[in-house]
Structure 1
């Protein structure tokens, strides 16, 4: 399954839909006029960009206000899981970079050290 920014296509759509429904009817109309259309990867991503231009309550807050505590907890768990994956990848990249730098340093020391 293809993920973009840690979310699948369906998760992006759901996030857009929830954020869109939380807006006033007038704001929704304005967004549609600007190109909001929650179908197709490119349009779903563009729609999130359009939604992001407005002050959006976090989806977790929105779900809590609607009384959907189970949904709010699921979102927090998903965000936490994605943050952990990103942190692990970052640590791995840092370790690989450190290893390469150590190899370059040792190579330079071997080549230019005074004997």
Structure 2
């Protein structure tokens, strides 16, 4: 039996079918128009990449909104904002530390050599 990425043909089909069934009707039609077809090795593999790109287009925030979970969507947005703020703070600390290191090296070089 031929395996691709550790999955048999039937496993690929099953995975595609499960993922496809989670899409709403309009997304399914859109995917079919792009070439989704779950029969034949080449089609099954192409369909998996189409499914992956389809799921990447839909953010968790959008998913929660579509499901009517406004509280979940707001909480997710707040969490993302807090994470972004934390990353920005860490980046600022790193930049400040690098600046201080470069300034110290420059001051040492200026102290060692006379200005012309």
Superposition TM-score tier, normalisation by shorter sequence: 0.5 to 0.7
TM-score (norm 2): 0.54
Q: Which runs of 4+ in 1 moved over 6 A?
A: none
TM-score (norm 1): 0.55
Q: Cα distance 1:21–1:112, how it changes in 2: closer, same or farther (>3 A)?
A: farther
Q: Does 1:109 align with 2:110?
A: yes
2:80 maps to 79
2:10 maps to none
| Whole-Å separation in 1 of the counterparts to 2:22 and 2:78 | 22
Aligned length: 84
Across the aligned residues of Structure 1 and Structure 2, the Cα RMSD in angstroms comes to: 3.6
1:63 maps to 64
> What residue ranges of structure 2 are gaps of 5+ in the alignment?
1-20, 32-36, 38-43
With CA pairs under 8 Å and 6+ residues apart, which has the higher RCO, 1 or 2? 1
> What residue ranges of structure 1 are gaps of 5+ in the alignment?
1-19, 37-49
Deviation of 1:62 after TM superposition, in Å, equals 1.5
